[in-house]
Amino acid sequence: MNGRSIIVTGGFGALGRVVAAAFAAQGDKVARIDFAPCPPDAMDGVIDLAGVDLTDMPAVDKAVAEVTTKLGGVDVLVNIAGGFIWETLEGGSIDAWERMFTMNVKSNATITKVVLPVIKLSSAGRIINIGAGAAIQAAAGMGPYAAAKAGVHRLTEALATELADSSVTVNAILPSIIDTPANRADMPDADTSQWVKPQAIADVILFLASPAARSISGALIPATRG
């Protein structure tokens, strides 16, 4: 399976960089797509597409066409791009709900829709989304984020059924708190001992992208241990 074409959205972030590196390390061809204007680092054998608004269909069409041309198709799409906000309903704004939907659901749906005709040509296509454990039982202040991630969960299940007769599987990983510099800065007094390391999530993604996971589709898989 080495030498496949991989797209990682949110590829410049803490999790995206680890996932992209994990695929590249096993010999896959990787494209990192991100809204940020430039990548924070360079990776050998990895192409970077910066400044891509994943909710802008023409921009996504252009990005996927470039990846398809340079890497020879798309075998795996890993949708990591998204956003987070903590905001109560009483103290927050309704705009936060729309923002979370746009960043987490619309971005995912847009690039997935564009990729579908290409990834269906793969002999073993894989679409792997990032949901959230917090969307299963939302705490105070988590409403906009949890509602959006629940949308990712439903998108995953619906698309898996839609593609049941194809070679493409669709699954989502539901992490608890991910151990990133940003989360540590936002929660300096938290007990981080059980936070999930990005590499642990990358390991699950690599498994779901492998031939061993060919029979798994429509699954929402918790990743809750460090």
Q: What is the pLDDT of residues 64-110, one digit of tens each?
A: 999 999 999 999 999 999 999 999 999 999 999 999 999 999 999 99
Please tell me the pTM assigned to this model: 0.96
Q: At what angle do helices 107-119 and 143-162 cross, to 10 degrees?
A: 20
Q: What is the pLDDT of residues 31-40, one digit of tens each?
A: 999 999 999 9
Domain boundary assignment for the chain:
5-223
3-state secondary structure the chain: CCCCEEEEECCCCHHHHHHHHHHHHCCCEEEEECCCCCCCCCCCCEEEECCCCCCCHHHHHHHHHHHHHHHCCCCEEEECCCCCCCCCCCCCCCHHHHHHHHHHHHHHHHHHHHHHHHHCCCCCCEEEEECCHHHCCCCCCCHHHHHHHHHHHHHHHHHHHHCCCCCCEEEEEEECCECCHHHHHHCCCCCCCCCECHHHHHHHHHHHCCHHHCCCCCCEEEECCC
CATH 3.10.180.10, domain 5-223, yes or no: no
Model confidence at 120, pLDDT cuts 50, 70, 90, reads very high
Model confidence at 7, pLDDT cuts 50, 70, 90, reads very high
Q: What is the pLDDT of residues 20-56, one digit of tens each?
A: 999 999 999 999 999 999 999 999 889 999 999 999 9
Q: What is the mean pLDDT of residues 183-209?
A: 93
**CA 201 from centre of chain:** 11
Quick one: pLDDT at residue 36?
A: 97
Name the token pair of 68.
Answer: 């398809």
Model confidence at 2, pLDDT cuts 50, 70, 90, reads low
